[in-house]
Amino acid sequence: MDKTDAATNPTHDLLKIEVVQSEQYSGSDWCAEAFNPDEMFQVGPADFFTNVYEGNVAKLKRQINKANVADYKTKHRDTGLTIAAMQGHNEIAQMLIEAGADINARNKNGDTALTIAALNGNTAIIKMLLKAGADTSVRNRQKMRAVDIATQRLKEFTAAVKALE
């Protein structure tokens, strides 16, 4: 993917991040916030989120070994783990869980990696999050738990199957 694709494709909104120093972090620690798409491919956590989004396992292994990147957050409070759940990157989700990512961290919509995995029907990530102790009672801003989201999606897919028959 080049910068033009990312800037014009709304599915790449998660990559629109910039590196800024945060009061929450000190010294060389950084967090990420929304930015100009032309600055998308810079060094630092923006690179971390790009690697998560694109599923670049090799680069992420090096980044995780160098710093505590497991809990970096975007402007919308998405973590590497929520992005991995959105993208269906099972291996990356496992790496971040093992690196100590907050499995119950919520983004600005109140969604956790578990509710996002439920939305996408990713049973592998759901199982690894449950094994790691994810809280199944968490409700997002729409007052929905992961099981509610999965149930809703099942109904939608069932209706789609019936329409196709």
**Mean pLDDT, rounded, of the chain:** 76
Alpha helices in 37-98 (DSSP H): 45-54, 57-66, 80-87, 90-98
Which of 40, 85, 25, 94 is CA-nearest to residue 64? 94
94-120 pLDDT, tens per residue? 999 998 889 999 999 999 999 999 999
Percent of the chain exceeding pLDDT 70 equals 69
75-100 pLDDT, tens digit each: 888 889 999 999 999 999 999 999 88
* Neighbour tally for 67: CB within 10 Å: 14
Per-position b or e across 30-56, b if 16+ CB within 10 A of its CB = bbbbebebeebeeebbbbbbbbbbbeb
Q: Is the Cα dihedral 74, 61, 125, 129 positive or negative?
A: negative
- Using 50, 70 and 90 to split pLDDT, how confident is the model at 20? very low
Domain locations in the chain? Answer: 3-164
Task: Report the CATH architecture of 3-164.
Answer: Alpha Horseshoe (1.25)
Burial tier of 25 (Cβ tally within 10 Å: 0-12, 13-18, 19+): middle
Q: By the 8 A CB rule, do 78 and 115 touch?
A: no
Q: Looking at residue 136, what is its pLDDT?
A: 97
